[in-house]
Amino acid sequence: ALMTGFEARFGKGTTLKLETTFRCPPSLCKISSTFVRKNPSQIAKQVRSPKADIVDAVRIVRVDEERFIRAAVERRLREITQEAATQGKKASVYLLARYQKDRAFMPMAYDSQWAEVSFLTVHRSKGLEADHVIVPRVTAETLGFPSKIADDPVLQLAMPSGEMFEFAEERRLFYVALTRARSSVTLITVQHMESSFISELVKEQGLRVLNSDGTEGSAELCPKCGKGFLRPRTSRFGPFLSCSTFPRCDYKKDGRRARRP
């Protein structure tokens, strides 16, 4: 790319890295920076924040079915408005989606006295910020996040060189979503359709998975593929655990042995 290959094209230069942000809390900086640096072609830098840290600056909420996503959005908004009312300060909230069609997850009603909610695609949110960010439908679907739709060939012509790293542009876009928030980011996924980005955040950064009611959810990753989560199932032979990406991954574990201390 033009920026990462600058010296090869134009000769010796000086790189000035902007490594201090006054927007995000430290834990959110660490999570987002670690995530985007997974791509070795990214310019290496460690972003730091002088702000006070926040517990669970990035949270993952998993719902049973896609039709429950809006309810999860509304629940998180209630938490935000209650906190804003306690502090006596109205909160700004972005519902950031990969595609316009996810506008369907905008809440039907919320306490507008204590929250201002806006819907934006992640592309349109570049350069903007809000107190809280909610990202709905972070799933492994074709139109999920990361999206599996190939870039427009016309846009590819404008790129100096192709990237071999999987979902490189989607990773940068996800980084944009994470870093729009001044306080917290909530990622909403769907059981059995968890995005590879969700699996990565759980596996490599230790993020917790919450159920839609706020209780702790299962976050045991499949030891075979490392992308799916183990789910309890039952057959005529008894209980067992299997990968949520089945049939792509056929891993199984005896559920009775799994429960033994």
Same domain, 234 and 136: no
Contact, 128 vs 140, CB < 8 A?
A: no
Contact, 115 vs 130, CB < 8 A?
A: no
Return the top range by mean pLDDT from 148-157, 161-170, 216-225. 216-225
Our count of domains for the chain comes to: 2
The pTM for the full model equals 0.83
Same domain, 254 and 136: no
- CATH number of the domain enclosing 211: 3.40.50.300
pLDDT band, residue 231 (cuts 50/70/90): confident
Q: What pLDDT score does 52 carry?
A: 67
Range of lowest pLDDT (10-19, 34-43, 214-223, 236-245): 10-19
Alpha helices for the chain (secondary structure H):
6-10, 26-36, 69-87, 153-158, 168-178, 196-205, 255-258
57: tokens are 């600056």
Same domain, 35 and 114: yes
Same domain, 161 and 248: no
94 belongs to a structural domain: yes
Same domain, 36 and 111: yes
Say yes or no to pLDDT of 58 above 50.
Answer: yes
Same domain, 183 and 230: no
97 belongs to a structural domain: yes
Spatial distance between the Cα atoms of 233 and 252, rounded to a whole number of angstroms = 10
Same domain, 229 and 210: no
Q: What pLDDT score does 5 carry?
A: 60
152 belongs to a structural domain: yes
232 belongs to a structural domain: yes
206 belongs to a structural domain: yes
Q: What is the mean pLDDT of residues 11-25?
A: 69
Task: Tell me the pLDDT tens digit for each residue of 174-207.
Answer: 999 999 999 999 999 998 899 999 999 999 999 9
Pairing of strands 181-190, 115-121: unpaired
Spatial distance between the Cα atoms of 96 and 175, rounded to a whole number of angstroms = 12
174 belongs to a structural domain: yes
Task: Tell me the pLDDT tens digit for each residue of 239-249.
Answer: 888 888 888 88
Same domain, 48 and 136: yes
pLDDT cut 70: percent of the chain above it: 80
Same domain, 254 and 158: no
Spatial distance between the Cα atoms of 239 and 32, rounded to a whole number of angstroms = 38
Q: What pLDDT score does 251 carry?
A: 92
Same domain, 101 and 181: yes
Q: What is the mean pLDDT of residues 132-147?
A: 95
- Cα torsion angle, 123, 146, 165, 186, sign: positive
Q: What is the mean pLDDT of residues 68-86?
A: 97
**Mean pLDDT of the chain, nearest integer:** 85
Q: What pLDDT score does 260 carry?
A: 40
Contact, 134 vs 186, CB < 8 A?
A: yes
pLDDT band, residue 261 (cuts 50/70/90): very low
Same domain, 206 and 259: no
Q: Which comes out higher in pLDDT, residue 1 or 210?
A: 210
Same domain, 99 and 195: yes
Q: What is the mean pLDDT of residues 11-23?
A: 67
11 belongs to a structural domain: no
Which range of residues forms the domain containing residue 99? Answer: 21-219
Residue 237 CB neighbour total at 10 angstroms: 7
7 belongs to a structural domain: no
